[in-house]
Each structure stands twice: as structure tokens, then as C-alpha cells.
Chain A
Amino acid sequence: MTRIFKHRLIWPIAALVALIVLNSISRPSFLSITITRGQLYGSLIDILRDSAPLMLVALGMALVIATRGIDLSVGAQMAISGSVALTIIADSKTPNSLGTVVVAILAGVAITLVFGLWNGFLVAVVGIQPIIATLVLMLAGRGIALLITGGFITTITSTPYAVLSQGHVLGFPVAFLVSAIAIAIVTVLVRRTALGVLTEAVGINPSASRLAGVRSRGIVWSLYGLSGLLAGMAGILYSSNIMAADANNAGINIELDAILAVVLGGTSLAGGKFTLAGTVIGVFIIQTLTSTITFLGVPPAVTPVFKAVVVIIVCLSQSQRMRGWISGLRPPKRLVVTTPNETPIATNRTTA
């Protein structure tokens, strides 16, 4: 039992469950999933589908944060990839052909991969602080997207493109399946190869890992590229969701939500150890919170406060010191006492 409570994911999961319970009490229909025209339909399914763009962005963000970095440009990159893809489809004579759509998606994702690698170049090779390096593209990127769309919202009608966000396979929304595949690929990439360990090594101590022979430059560079790639795909999903390239609003403030999701999941902003599972749960917490606001009927004027309170509670619940204080209010547990002159202090430190 205590092992369960010590597991680092227990608090994020508890927060997610608490939100779901809160919604179900308010409206029991929250949990209901029905099958409408061969597809699953319900609030939980909506959450799975709507969380897809944030999920992709947050996965990339988790890895970048693990290298002691940050990628502020993801929202702008979403706007760029959506604009590129939709401009290609809108200008094409055959918007409904699968070929056009595939070319558009590849072009959109390829361009953000290039921008991601540019970020990585600035951080890993030139040595600019990540927050500044990516801030450049965060500000300029939306301008680039507006330049592509000419300041207007580009709208399209293209059946294959709509499938990405509105279609279903085996009853599940395609957008959710895309994010699930991304989770699987990234997990295999970092946990079944040495990449994850090397990333953590770079994040924990860049100098030591370099001296130990880790090619930190290449790793950091490629992870920013991956973050760009995932943000590009997120932009494709976002634009497919509304069938429009809204350069002004696509992915606006998503970098902050992604950072929040990573942190709610239990990854430290100081870099080093990271948890993808925690990040996934963090994304679901944020998306469920959005539904909660509608379901509880929180007035728009107090929505930011409501969100802030929930986030503060989740963060506090993860704080070791806070938990210590709260358990201090209860009768103290039996402490493991060590006699000072027998146990060397050093071992205490390492086990603490």
C-alpha cells in the first residue's frame, strides 16, 4: 500500500480521477459512452480527441525539458504547419484526392521539422539559452504563418483531410489514434533505445555526460527537431479539426499548457529525469479541466481563477514538503531512528 502511495504518478492520477468524479457527480451523463452511427460518442471520447494536439506538443516538450531546455515556439509552429498544409490544399485543383492531402501534410510537418532543427541549432551549436532561442520563433513564427495565409483564415473542403480530426477508425477518433501512435513511437524511441538515458544524462549534468562520451550536442539538436515535428503534426490536427488555418489563434498559448502538462505529470523543469506517462496524464488533466468548466457551468469571468486553483492544488499535492506538513498534522508515524555515532552521514544522504 505505501509503495503505491510512493509511486510518483499516483498524485497526477488521483487529480485526474478526482476531476472525472467531480464531473460525474455534477452530471452522471459525463461517463456515458454511446455508439452513434458506428462511432463512439461521449464526453470522455471528446476529451480523448480534443487532447490530441496538446498531447503531441507535450511529448516533444517533455523531452526538450529533460535536456534542461524549453520550446516556446510550438504554438507558432502549429500555426505554420496548418497554414502551409491548408494553403497547398486550397490552391490545389484536386482538394479531395488523397495524394494532395498527403503532400500537404508532409510539407506542413517537414517545414516545422526544419524550424525545430533551427531551434536546436541555436541552442546546441550556437549556445543561446533555450528560452531566448525559441522565443524568436514564437514571435516570428506567427508572422510567418500570417504571411502564408495573407492574414485571412484559409478554409477548405477536403474529405480526406477532415478524416484526421473528424473521422473514426474502429469507433475511435482518428486524432486520438494519431496521438496514441505518437506516444507509442516516442516511448519506444526513448525507452527501448539509449536515447532516453542519454537525454536524462544530458539534463542532469551536461558537462559530466560530455566527459563520459555522450554526444550531447547531437541529442539536444535532434530533440528540438522532434519537438518541431510533433508540433507540426499537432498543427495539422488543429487545422483539420476546424478545416481552417487560423494563423492568429492556432496553438495560441499551447506552449504554456504543454509545459503545465509536463510539470503536472511530475517532470521537473530543472531537467534530467522525465516521465512520458506522467505527461500523458498531465495532458488529460488539462483537457478534462476544460470540459469540467462547461459541465459545472463555471461562469467565463471566473474560469481562469478556477483553473488556477485546480492547478495549484495538483502542484501542492505533488510537493514532498507540503505532503510532509500535512502528514505532520496527523499523529506522527514511527520514525526510523539511527544512532548518530553508528551510521555514517554520507550513506544517509545518498539514500535520502
Chain B
Amino acid sequence: MKKFLAGIAVVGVLALALTGCSGGGAGGAAGGAKKIITVGFAQTGSESGWRAANTLSMKSAFSTKNGFKLIFNAADNKPENQIAAVHSFINQGVDAIVIAAVVTTGWDDVLKEAKAAKIPVILEDRTIDASPSLYASWIGDDFTKEGVTAGAWAAKTLGATATNMVVLEGTTGSSPAIDRAKGFSSSIAGTKITTLDSQTGNFTRADGKTVMEGFLQKYGKKINLLFAQNDDMGLGALDAIKAAGETPGTDIQIVSIDGTHDGLTALSTGEFNYVVECNPLLGDKVASVVKDVLAGKAVDKAYTAVDGAFDKAAAIAALPTRKY
């Protein structure tokens, strides 16, 4: 009896969990006389506000109104889930597959399968380590360039005076963390900016705050500049800076990357000094590339999104229409 009850409970809970997972998926109803393009989109998951904005952008670009039927799958940041999702897209015979890869490796087999089934694959956001013949195109942001832009601002604004910088890095080993650091240091090479310390804040507000507290305790008032590799860490650091009795934006200048609504709000009030955009609104470009590929037109192997950069005035102008 006990076991039976346990069984019922487990089934019930699993059913609950499953409905929870599929709740956000399967966008767009089929129908209509016009030829509808069925697209399978394997998203990484829903790990951040950036990702949520990216998902929304993709869903609205691949809407029924635009002639698409989108089969959406969020892989919960597990590579095996994502490969399973792509397999299922191939079995369902979709017209095209879009992948925002969780990891860069392990894609060869499933992509060969897609190629054998004559289904074009378009990569979104992240690149992969596979032969370029296995995918049609890549659309994403150039993390190195974002780092270069942020560094160029720092070099221009503070490069002539002796400046002590601390860095809040993203998740150790992730491609945005590596590339943004590389780009930034290439821009500030030869200036009078010295890096006091660099630690990971895992791209989160809470860790950004904790690490910044540590920096402030360690170096006191020596810090003049903070480079936060994303807005969230910078926003977390704001509280730590205020608690230490310093004024963010004046005593410690802050440059960050992402351009989220909250980041730009901080910029508009002068607490941040410069924000480089990492544009999540890739949906429209991806949709047009998918259409071109299916129409047999030639497409480039890589498209980088236009990443703007904001100072205080630009942030105030951009905020009212900011979507994410």
C-alpha cells in the first residue's frame, strides 16, 4: 500500500514537473494556406535576464504572423538535453534548426544527422567547435569587441592618470568571460591603468557584491575603477561601494557590459559611467537568415550583432524604449 501510494505521488509530481517544463514552449499554432516554415529552436535554458530577452526576441521573430511555426526547447543548460532536442527536431522533420549551444563540443554526430536529413542548422549566440560545413551560419555578439569597446573608454577617460582597477570576472572558463577580458586588456595596454585584482563574480549580483566587499576591505580607498564583465555584477557591487562610504561613479568609476534596463538605469543616475551593449535581440536577424537559407540564397558564415555603447546621456535617451 505504502509503495503504491509512493508510486502515485511520484507520477503525480513528475507530471507536474513535466507540465511545468513544457508550459513555456510550443509557440504558434499551425494552419493557413501559405507555406509555413517549421523551425526547431534549441535554447540553452533560462539562466539570466539576457537569455529571457533573447528567448522573447526569438519567439516574436518566429511568430505565426511572420509565417513560422516555432518548436521551442529550453535545455536547462544541459548539453545532453539539447542534443536530444535536436534529434527530436530531425525526427519531426522541421524545415530548419536553430541552436544556441550550451557547450562548444560534442555536436558533430547530431549535425551530420541533420545534414543527412537535409535540414539546415543555424547557430545563434554561441559558436561551436565543429566543421563549418555542418552549419549554414552563425549570428551572435562579438564578446572580444565588447571588451575592446569598454577598454577603449577606460583608456580614453582614465588612461593618462595613474588608475587602480579591479575586475569582476564572469563565470570562470565561459567564453564571454575569456573574450571580454582579452578585449579589455588589449585596449588598456600601455596606459597607466593597473589591475589591482581580478576575481570571479559568476555573472551574478550576489557574488558581485560579496567579491566587491572583499576588494574594498583589501584595498580600501585605492580603487579608482571597476570593470564588471556584466551589469548584474556591477549592480551588486554598487551596494558594497556605498556601504564602504564611497560614491559609485565618482570615487570609483564603473564600466560594465550588457546594457540591461537596470544597468542603464544606474548609468542614467550617474552610478555607472559607461555601459557596452551585448544585444540579445537577435531574433529578427536569425529569422531573415533562416528564410534566405531555405530560399537557397547565399549567406555569410558569421553575422555579428551591432553592439552599441552608452554614456549617461545616451542611457537617458534609450531607457524609455528599452525592452530588456
Which residues of A line the B interface, CB within 8 A? 27, 29-30, 36-37, 41-43, 46, 50, 122, 126-128, 132, 136, 139-140, 143-144, 146-147, 150-153, 155, 166, 238, 241-244, 246, 248-250, 290-291, 293-295, 297, 300-301, 303
Checking B13, B24, B205 against A246 with a beta-carbon cut-off of 8 angstroms, the contacting residue is B205
Q: Is the CB of A242 within 8 A of B209?
A: yes
A-B contact pairs, 14 of them (CB 8 A): A41-B245, A50-B210, A126-B5, A144-B20, A153-B205, A242-B235, A242-B236, A244-B235, A246-B206, A249-B204, A249-B206, A290-B214, A291-B214, A301-B173
In the assembled complex, how far is the CB of residue B74 from the closest CB belonging to chain A, in whole angstroms? 10
Whether the Cβ atoms of B217 and A151 lie closer than 8 Å is: no
B2 touches A127 (CB 8 A): yes
B contact residues around A246 at 8 Å (CB)? 204-206, 232
Residues of A within 8 A of B215 (CB): 294
Contact between A151 and B262, CB atoms less than 8 A apart: no
Residues on B with C-beta less than 8 A from A144 are 20
B46 contacts the other chain (CB 8 A)? yes
**CA distance in complex: A241, B240 (Å):** 10
Assembly CA distance A153 to B47 (angstroms): 10
Query: Within residues 161 to 216 of chain B, which ones have a CB less than 8 A from any CB in chain A?
Result: 169, 172-173, 197-200, 202, 204-206, 209-211, 213-215
A151 touching B46, Cβ below 8 Å:
yes
Q: Is the interface of B mostly helix, strand, loop or mixed?
A: helix
Which residue of B20, B24, B211, B236 contacts A140 across the interface (Cβ within 8 Å)? B20
B307 on interface, CB distance cutoff 8 Å: no
Tell me, in angstroms, the Cα distance from A173 to B139 when the chains sit together: 47
Is A290 a contact of B200 with CB atoms below 8 Å? no
Q: Are B9 and A126 in touch, CB under 8 angstroms?
A: yes
Q: A146 to B215, alpha carbons, bound, how many Å?
A: 32
Q: Digit string of B45-57 for contact with A (CB within 8 Å is 1, else 0)?
A: 0111101110100
User: CB of B16 within 8 A of chain A?
Assistant: yes
Instruction: Check if B239 is an interface residue, CB within 8 A of chain A.
Output: yes
Tell whether, in the assembled complex, residue A303 and residue B172 are in contact, meaning their CB atoms are under 8 Å apart.
yes
B220 interface residue (CB < 8 Å to A): yes
* B301 CB–A CB distance under 8 Å: no
A241-B20 in contact given A152-B49, A153-B232, A166-B239 (Cβ < 8 Å): no
CB distance from B172 to the nearest CB of A (A): 5
How many angstroms from the CA of A291 to the CA of B6 in the assembled complex? 44
With both beta carbons as reference points, the residue of chain B lying nearest to A302 in the complex is identified as B172
- Told that A36-B245, A249-B206, A300-B198 touch, could you supply 19 new A-B pairs with CB distance under 8 A? A27-B218, A36-B244, A126-B5, A126-B6, A127-B2, A143-B17, A151-B49, A242-B205, A242-B239, A244-B235, A244-B262, A246-B206, A248-B47, A249-B202, A249-B205, A294-B215, A295-B218, A300-B169, A301-B173
Tell me the B residues contacting A by CB distance below 8 Å: 2, 5-6, 9-10, 13, 16-17, 20-21, 23-24, 46-49, 51-53, 55, 169, 172-173, 197-200, 202, 204-206, 209-211, 213-215, 217-218, 220, 232, 235-236, 239, 243-245, 262, 324
| Set B173, B199, B244: member contacting A293, Cβ < 8 A | B199
Candidates B211, B214, B262; contact of A153 at CB < 8 Å: B262
Contact check, B218 vs A122: say whether CB atoms are below 8 A apart.
no
Residue of A128, A140, A150, A242 ringed by the most chain B CB atoms within 10 A:
A242
6 shortest interchain CB distances as A-B pairs: A294-B214, A151-B52, A300-B200, A242-B205, A249-B204, A43-B217
Q: CB distance B55 to A151 under 8 Å?
A: yes
Closest chain B CB from A102 CB (angstroms): 23
Task: Name the B residues within 8 Å of A155 (CB-CB).
Answer: 262
For residue A164, give the distance in angstroms from its CB to the closest CB of chain B.
13
Q: Decide: A290 and B206 in contact? CB cutoff 8 A.
A: no
Nearest B residue to A243, CB-CB: B239
Compute how far the CA of A227 lies from the CA of B237 in the bound complex, rounded to whole angstroms.
30
Q: Which residues of A contact B205 (CB under 8 A)?
A: 153, 242, 244, 246, 249
- Which of A42, A126, A294 meets B199, CB within 8 Å? A294
Cα of A17 to Cα of B49 in the assembled complex, Å: 40
Query: Which residues of A lie under 8 Å from residue B24 when comparing CB positions?
Result: 151
Asked whether, in the complex, the Cβ of A29 is within 8 Å of the Cβ of B172, the reply is no
- Chain A residues whose CB sits within 8 angstroms of the CB of B244 once the complex forms: 36, 41
Q: How far is the CA of A297 from the CA of B133 in the complex (A)?
A: 44
CB distance from B200 to the nearest CB of A (A): 4
Of B48, B214, B236, most A-chain CB atoms within 10 Å: B214
Out of A50, A147, A152, which one reaches B52, CB within 8 Å?
A152
A50–B213 CB distance below 8 A: yes
Min C-beta distance of A346 to chain B, whole Å:
38
Given A27, A37, A242, A303, which contacts B206 in the complex, CB threshold below 8 Å?
Answer: A242
Shortest CB–CB separation between residue A249 and chain B, in angstroms?
Answer: 4
* Nearest CB on A from B170, distance (A): 10
- For A50, what are the chain B residues with a Cβ–Cβ distance below 8 Å? 210, 213
Residues of chain A with a CB closer than 8 A to B169's CB: 300
Give the shortest distance, in Å, between B127 (CB) and chain A (any CB): 22
A136 near B13 with CB under 8 A, answer yes
Closest to A122 in B: B9
CA distance A42 to B217 in the complex (A): 7
